[in-house]
Amino acid sequence: MNQVRIAELAWPVYAERVGSGAPVLIPVGALEQHGPHMSMNPDVLLPTAIAERVAADIGGLVAPAIAYGYKSQQKSGGGNHMPGTTSLDGSTVTSIIRDVLRELARHGVRKAVLINGHYENSAFITEGVDLALRELRWDGIVDFRCIILSYWDFIDQATIDAIYQGDFPGWAVEHGGVLETSLMLHLHPDLVDMSLVHDHPPAVFPPYDVFPIKPEWTPASGCLSSAKRARAEHGELILRVCVQGISGALQTAFD
């Protein structure tokens, strides 16, 4: 698997792979609290794990993950007031994406995939891609293609049913919940302590956002739903579904 990590290749190997048309996958994460039962890096580790497996499937490469992301929002990540959550301004996220894509294009890469693991990054990744394509166009490069995806968008209804048994609280409150915890239990069991899960009902929010946020709206755990039902087997299933889905999608998209 090692051979997909760009950072672990010597440059001539990388140059050869790029020269053969390998797509490059970039995990985009965050350093963000995910409850008292879990480490703060799931948004980095999960898209990285998926990216590495997808890259192995499709002959791609994986760039170092973007380890810091956009500000956590209360209704999707508990809020940016939480200890440990360490976020960048939107323009910083956008600049990182733009700069990295510009460099990949210079190397000769023509297919890039941003694999997002932190919901709040989405729009700033999109803007980074747009700015990169603009600059590349000015450089006469018009065949650079870029795909943006969030891995959870590849989890189908059958998988949700199998895991949640009809009790799916919705993606909106899946922060630090069954999905992420199960994936971590499968991939990094040492970074989860199920005995520390707070078993509370899903957070309920009004249909608007308030700033400054109201800390009391976020459950004390920092999670938006309970991870109690998390299982390593669920994680294994989700991982397989995501990897297969994304691998297939990329092969179609880059055809």
Segment 180-209, which members bind a copy of itself (CB under 8 A)?
190-191, 193, 196, 206-209
Instruction: Please give the Cα distance from 30 to 25 (Å, whole number).
Output: 16
Question: Between residue 118 and residue 157, which ones bind a copy of itself under the rule CB under 8 A?
Answer: 120, 122-124, 126-127, 129-131, 133, 135, 137-139, 145-149, 153-154
237, 163 Cβ separation under 8 angstroms: yes
Q: Which of 145, 75, 72, 67 is nearest to 105 (CA)?
A: 145
189: left (phi over 0), alpha (psi -120 to 50) or beta: alpha
Whether 127 is catalytic is no
Q: Does 82 bind a copy of itself (CB under 8 A)?
A: yes
Among 37, 118, 186, 234, the active-site one is: 118
Question: 144 or 235: whose CB is closer to a copy of itself?
Answer: 144
Smallest gap from residue 53 Cβ to a copy of itself (A): 17
Smallest gap from residue 97 Cβ to a copy of itself (A): 10
Among 37, 175, 186, 234, the active-site one is: 175
Instruction: Please give the Cα distance from 168 to 189 (Å, whole number).
Output: 23
Q: Which of 138, 148, 171, 1 is nearest to 66 (CA)?
A: 148
Q: Does 169 bind a copy of itself (CB under 8 A)?
A: no
Q: Is 165 helix (H, G, I), strand (E, B) or coil?
A: coil
Please give the positions annotated as active site: 32, 34, 43, 118, 120, 175, 180
